[in-house]
Amino acid sequence: MGPSAEDHAGAVRALRAQYESLPRGETVRLAKRTSNLFRFGRASAGPGLDVSGFDRLIEVDPAARTARVQGMVTYERLVDATLRHGLMPLVVPQLKTITLGGAVAGLGIESASFRNGLPHESVLEMEIMTGDGRVIAARPDNEHAALFRAFPNSYGTLGYALRLTIELEPVRPFVKLRHRRFDDAAACFAALDEICTSGHDGDARVDFLDGTVFGPRQMYLTIASFTDTAPWTSDYTGQEIYYRSPLRRPIDYLPVRDYLWRWDTDWFWCSRAFGAQHPVVRRLWPRRYRRSDVYHRIVGFDRRHRVSARLDRLRGRPPQEAVVQDVEVPVGQAPEFLEFFLGEVGITPVWLCPLRLRHPEPWPLYPLKPGGLYVNFGFWSSVARRPGQPEDHHNRLIEARVDELGGHKSLYSTVHYPPEEFWELYNGPAYAAVKREYDPDGRLPDLYDKCVR
């Protein structure tokens, strides 16, 4: 049973009182136990605001296909609740502990994004506590429409979503996956474009589409569709590892919940860094700890205490540059970006995920072109730096090439743009106008300070 209207209103009053009690001269931040951001080792700026009381699902309305959800609800809990009604959010980001409020304020993407856009595009209304302490209802058609549209990609610098109403869509019990191999990038992205345009693969409707690049001549598109029955189902929460499955299994079936969390068990492929993919280690590693949030905490400890960096120095290895990014590139420039990335950076595998905005107007702080098809490239590893290269050498190469190709870069990880370039890319004038209206005293951090400094 979700919180009553009175319970929620009480939590809002308590949060406002807590906010008012914090020192006025210090920047306020969220005090969260978990995070999916990659900004380790930075000092926490300002006092923490406890929003842990906003982690409940209020209501699922099967008839209207909507859900009312508090902002700190994780997608794991949200999905479990909606699947009981044969429904799911229009886009379910890959990792279980991403919160709905976090996905809206910080963007999210998954294999339904070629038809359903990004998570914030299925939001009908947001209750937001703004930087000036107000709690307002923002919708695309009311007096707070500018805040509603600027909230995506604001990363908690305009306010915090306390309650959201989102659209849902129906599911079927299983998902059929078809892994199609390509040995040429141009052919791969042409096929991706065709599937996204038609919504079909041959006669089959396509509900989900993503891909994996293992090398310049080894890439797979995973074309997936809902189905009522399955001759078998695979289990990638045990000894088998999902990302390797295209290499040996052209057709696969998963229960719908397992499909939605197929990437979480091994954090895509990043669990290999901890030995969790070694057969012996995997048998000893408890299944309940094969989760992205566990791996994230391990990485956070390592980055904060520089354990790996110290071991590399002792072993005489070159210093490593963390390259953990998701970028969006127009589909027509995707082959060029992949060739550059494999040649200059060389990380594999690389995740591919197509997306197209649902709405006809751009979202101000992440101005992708409406109607345009983009490909998200996700890569999460480290690269050895040669003598004389700056600490951000590869990341700056990537940022520059993405900009040249008309793309955009997500801000959940390290960002290296100087201020002028950052505000040009992320619509500084639009941000400044909304910031002045809803946080005139700057109680919340500035977007550049939050993401770069």
Q: Which value, in Å, is the radius of gyration of the alpha carbons in the chain?
A: 22
DSSP 8-class letter at 224: E
What are 256-278's pLDDT values in tens digits?
A: 999 999 999 999 999 998 999 99
What are 381-395's pLDDT values in tens digits?
A: 999 999 999 999 999
Cα(173)–Cα(176) distance, integer angstroms: 10
8 A C-beta contact, residue 158 and residue 444: yes
The per-residue pLDDT for 45 is 55
Burial of 204 (0-12, 13-18, 19+ CB in 10 A): middle
The per-residue pLDDT for 42 is 53
The per-residue pLDDT for 1 is 63
Supply the DSSP string of 185-211, one letter for each residue.
HHHHHHHHHHHHHHSEETTEE-SEEEE
Cα dist. 304→42, 43, 141, 282, 307 in Å? Answer: 8, 10, 44, 26, 8
The per-residue pLDDT for 302 is 81
Q: Tell which CATH classification among 3.30.465.10, 1.10.645.10, 3.40.630.30, 3.40.960.10 matches the domain 5-171+436-451.
A: 3.30.465.10
Cα(383)–Cα(346) distance, integer angstroms: 8
8 A C-beta contact, residue 394 and residue 383: yes
Domain ranges of the chain: 5-171+436-451, 306-416
- Among 342, 329, 337, smallest CA distance to 383 is for 342
The per-residue pLDDT for 3 is 87
Note the CATH architecture for domain 306-416: 2-Layer Sandwich (3.30)
The per-residue pLDDT for 24 is 86
The per-residue pLDDT for 2 is 83
Residue whose structure tokens are 């370039």: 421
Side chain identity at residue 241, one-letter code? I
Cα(104)–Cα(120) distance, integer angstroms: 5
Q: Report, as ranges of residue numbers, the positions in the chain whose pLDDT lies below 70.
A: 1, 33-34, 39-46
The per-residue pLDDT for 432 is 98
8 A C-beta contact, residue 390 and residue 397: no
8 A C-beta contact, residue 439 and residue 130: yes
The per-residue pLDDT for 311 is 77
Two tokens at 34?
């978990």
- Can you give the pTM of this predicted structure? 0.95
128 phi and psi angles, rounded to 5 deg: -125, 130
Cα(269)–Cα(237) distance, integer angstroms: 13
